[in-house]
Structure formats: C-alpha cells, structure tokens
C-alpha cells in the first residue's frame, strides 16, 4: 500500500519574500519612473485595523506629486537598492534556499509605454538576481507587485484600458528574455484577487475617471488575466522550463453560523474569491461569474481571442499568501459597497494588533481546499506576523509571538503535505523588516532581521538578528523537523 508523505520533501523551497516597492527606495535613481507605490503617504494615525490602500483619484495623485511636507516611505524603503548585497548575505545565513522579490515595472519601463526598456534598470535586476544565486538561493521573481508606472494610471486608467495588456506583455517578455537562464520561477501578478483593500495599487484605475468603478475593476481584471495568459504563452516559448505561476491572497471565508442563509452567502462570496484562480488555472469563465456580471449589470468586454488564449495558457502553479481567516454572513456581504469584501472577524480566534485573526489550522484547511480544486503545485508565497518589535535591555529582539505564529503555521503546512497536498515552497513575508504594504508604516514589522528605522525613515539603518532568525535557521537546517 502506498504510504502518505511524512514530512517536507528533500528539495522543499525554504525561503523568504519581499517586494521592490517596500524595500528598495532609490525611487528616482537609475532611470526609474514614478510608480503607484511612490504616492502612498505614511498612515500614522487612526485605527490600526482600518489602515489600507483603497481608492485614489487624479486629485490625490497630483497632490502627492507636489507635496513637500508629507513623508512617503516607499520612496525610500530600507535602501535595499544600495544594501542588497549585505542584506542577501545576512539572509542567506538562515540557510534559505530561495528568495522572492519583485521587479519594479517602472525601473524597466519608466512610463510603461516607452519604446525601449531602461538598460540601467535591467542591469540592476541582473546584478540582484546574480547576487541571490551567488548566496545559494533560487530566485522567485514577481513581475507586478503594486509597481505599475504611474503614467499608465494617469494617461490610460491603468488596467481598465486594453492597451495596458500590450504594455504588460512587452514588459514581461523583456524580463523573460533578459533573465531566461537565471530565473525559473515567476509570479506574474501579486495577489491578483485584491480589488478591495489594494484597489488602486493593484489596478491603477483612478476612481474619478470611470462611471462604474465595480465594472471598471472587473474589466481591469479581465484585461490583466488576458495579459497573464499571453505572457505565459510567450514565457514558455522563450524557456520551456519556466514555471509561471498565478497568485492570490487567501480570502476564503467560513460561514459565521450554520444558518442556511449564511452558508449560501459564504459560498457566493468564496466564488468571487475563486474566480481569479479558476480563470487562470482552469482557463475558462465560470458560470457563477457570468451570472454575477449579469445580476449586477456589469458589461465586461470579453473577446473570443481572449477566451482562447486564457484556455490554452493556464498557470503552472498556484501561489497564495496566507495571514488570517475570516467569516461571512448574509448580513455582512454587501457587494454594492465596492470596498467591502464582506469579511467578518472569526469570533473563535485571537487577532494581532492590526485585527488579523490568527488561525494556523486554517492554513491546512485552505491548502487542502485549493489542491482539491486545482491539483496544481502550491507555493506559500507569503505568511507572517506583523507586530511591534522592541530592543530589550540585553540589546536583543525577543519576538516570541512571531516564532509561535510561524511554528504553528509550519506545523499545519506539514500536516497538509501529509494529506497529499503538493506544497513545494514556503516564503515567510518580510524576512528583513520593510515598509508595510497597507499602511506604509515601518513599525508593523515581520522580519527575522530588525532594521533600525522608524515610520519616517529616521534611525541608524543598522540590521540586527531577532530570536526568530535563529529559530528559522534551525527549521531550515532540519528541513522542518525541529520547530
């Protein structure tokens, strides 16, 4: 009788993940143009649980470009653009076998519609990828991680415009050809299903430029998915060994109660979450989404040639980010609010200071759920615990809560592998402290390595190993046996 897997495979990809816009800085160096992340101001006031990047107008963009008083942390990051060699060497001490980062689209095509790519940007990423490999790590490269050239948002309304398909495909092909012998694993779009909390960051659609923003978002998603399929086709032609993945943020929910109304509302909500991976992994528009468009009078331009390229060029693997779980009820799910995804806190679990419910067992559940649905390899491209860190009197950072969070999630990932789920890689988010995505704060930290820098970029920038650094080092050395 065939035996179940007992632990992590020998070639398991233990890694870590960052994004260019949250780490690099150097926002106008090396020929880079403005990107959408460069206009995000630090959110240093208000409820921690409500800080996120939602809608942006042309007026907001104009203000940010002219603002001389506000601080925009993603313009500066942690200066990874200049310190990547030292940082990668330090991260490699954990024993990481792989490292995920993104290429900032605006470093390659500063305006997005440029005729020729920026050679200085291409060379920077070639040097960065070489350094990742030099440190014994397999590069996993994301091509779109909230770094759309701002010009595409202002002049073309971002992904709402079909012209952006060609701009993105050209950018992808440029990167594929340049790094074809150095990069095997690619994620084309980070968390492609985030159209609520990271709406403008993701789609680049100014809210005041369209009449029906919900319709514009789904049109943008269609255009983006079509571009991904075309890019996947080209990528496989350039190098048949490429592994080209699609990525979602795990937004699946559980019904708040077992009332039939809550069960149905939860199913309908989850279908809208599955839609993105159904389209890019199965290659066809699901019937439930066609009905959703009809019921909400959304007129989406879906062309026969789009359907064909989607059908013929599905993704090679599924990447997910997993941080927390949520619930939904018939009362909470209100699609008429385009910024409301119907999510409710799970009353049975604890949460972080930012209101993110801590549910390690949920990771095993969703890994099984996704694998049952798609039967494709899964990479956990993000997982982590954002919290406040302080330097203790002994000069060290004792981050027990982070270690506990990660340990429990690795345990459940191992259980999922025993269940037969083909999990091939694990990338804790922000293994070195970087600027927060949602609030642009530095004080919401995820790293194994502390960066001495506050929300306004002040500090020595010194790097310090936290207790979690040594914990992860032991986990990797034991291939997940010593937790």
Q: What is the pLDDT of residues 277-336, one digit of tens each?
A: 999 999 999 999 999 999 999 999 999 999 999 999 999 999 999 999 889 899 876 555
φ, ψ dihedrals at 282, nearest 5°: -100, -25
Take residue 40 and report the two structure tokens written for it: 């995000």
| Percentage above 70 pLDDT, the chain | 96
Domain boundaries, the chain: 13-477
Average pLDDT, the chain: 94
- Separation of alpha carbons 318 and 193, rounded Å: 13
What's the 3-state SS for 393-427? CCCCCCCHHHHHHHHHHHHHHHHHHHCCCCEEEEC
How does pLDDT run across 357-403, given as a tens digit for each residue?
A: 889 999 999 999 999 999 999 999 999 999 999 999 999 999 999 99
By the 8 A CB rule, do 141 and 183 touch? yes
Sheet holding 344-345, edge to edge: 253-255, 326-328, 344-345
Return the biggest CA–CA distance within the chain.
69
pLDDT at 3: 76
| Tokens encoding 353 | 């200071």
* Sequence-separated (6 or more) residues with CB below 8 Å from residue 311: 283, 284
Q: How far is C-alpha 33 from the chain's CA centre?
A: 21
Confidence of residue 342 (pLDDT cuts 50, 70, 90): confident
Class of domain 13-477 (CATH, top level): alpha beta
Alpha carbon distance 418, 5 (integer Å): 5
β-pairing, 463-465 vs 449-451, is antiparallel
Contact between 478 and 91 under an 8 Å Cβ cutoff? The reply is no
The whole-model pTM stands at 0.96
Looking only at the bridges linking them, the beta strands covering 317-321 and 243-249 are parallel
Residue with token string 């259980």: 415
237 close to 173: Cβ distance less than 8 angstroms: no
């Amino acid at each position: 009788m065939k035996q179940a897997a007992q632990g992590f495979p020998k070639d398991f990809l233990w890694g870590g993940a960052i994004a260019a816009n949250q780490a690099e800085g150097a926002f106008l160096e090396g020929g880079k143009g403005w990107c959408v992340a460069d206009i995000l101001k630090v959110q240093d006031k208000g409820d921690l649980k409500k800080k996120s990047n939602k809608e942006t107008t042309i007026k907001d963009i104009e203000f940010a470009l002219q603002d001389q008083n506000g601080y925009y942390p993603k313009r500066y990051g942690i200066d990874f653009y200049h310190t990547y060699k030292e940082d990668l060497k330090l991260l490699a001490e954990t024993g990481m076998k792989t490292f995920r980062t993104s290429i900032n689209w605006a470093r390659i095509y500063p305006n997005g519609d440029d005729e020729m790519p920026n050679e200085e940007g291409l060379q920077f990423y070639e040097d960065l990828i070489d350094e990742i490999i030099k440190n014994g790590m397999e590069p996993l490269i994301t091509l779109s991680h909230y770094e759309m050239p701002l010009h595409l948002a202002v002049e073309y309304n971002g992904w709402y415009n079909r012209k952006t398909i060609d701009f993105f495909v050209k950018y992808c092909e440029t990167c594929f050809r340049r790094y074809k012998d150095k990069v095997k694993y690619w994620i084309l779009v980070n968390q492609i299903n985030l159209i609520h909390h990271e709406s403008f960051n993701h789609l680049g659609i100014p809210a005041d430029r369209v009449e029906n923003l919900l319709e514009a978002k789904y049109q943008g998603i269609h255009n983006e998915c079509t571009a991904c399929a075309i890019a996947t086709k080209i990528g496989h032609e350039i190098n048949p060994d490429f592994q080209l993945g699609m990525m979602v943020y795990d937004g699946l929910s559980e019904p708040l109660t077992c009332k039939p109304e809550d069960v149905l509302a939860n199913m309908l909500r989850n279908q809208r979450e599955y839609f993105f991976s159904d389209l890019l992994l199965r290659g066809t528009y699901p019937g439930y989404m066609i009905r959703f468009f009809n019921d909400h009078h959304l007129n989406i331009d879906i062309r026969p040639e789009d359907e064909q390229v989607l059908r013929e060029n599905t993704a090679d693997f599924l990447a997910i980010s997993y941080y927390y779980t949520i619930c939904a009820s018939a009362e909470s799910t209100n699609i008429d609010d385009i910024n409301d995804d119907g999510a409710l806190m799970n009353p049975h679990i604890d949460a972080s200071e930012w209101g993110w419910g801590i549910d390690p067992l949920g990771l095993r559940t969703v890994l099984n759920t996704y694998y049952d649905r798609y039967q494709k390899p899964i990479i956990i491209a993000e997982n982590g615990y954002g919290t406040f860190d302080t330097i203790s009197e002994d000069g060290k950072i004792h981050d027990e809560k982070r270690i506990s969070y990660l340990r429990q999630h690795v345990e459940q990932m191992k259980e999922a592998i025993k269940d037969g789920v083909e999990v091939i890689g694990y990338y804790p988010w922000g293994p070195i402290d970087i600027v927060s995505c949602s609030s642009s704060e530095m004080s919401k930290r995820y790293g194994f390595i502390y960066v001495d820098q506050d929300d306004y970029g002040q500090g020595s920038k010194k790097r310090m190993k936290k207790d979690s650094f040594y914990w992860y080092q032991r986990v990797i050395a034991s291939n997940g046996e010593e937790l």
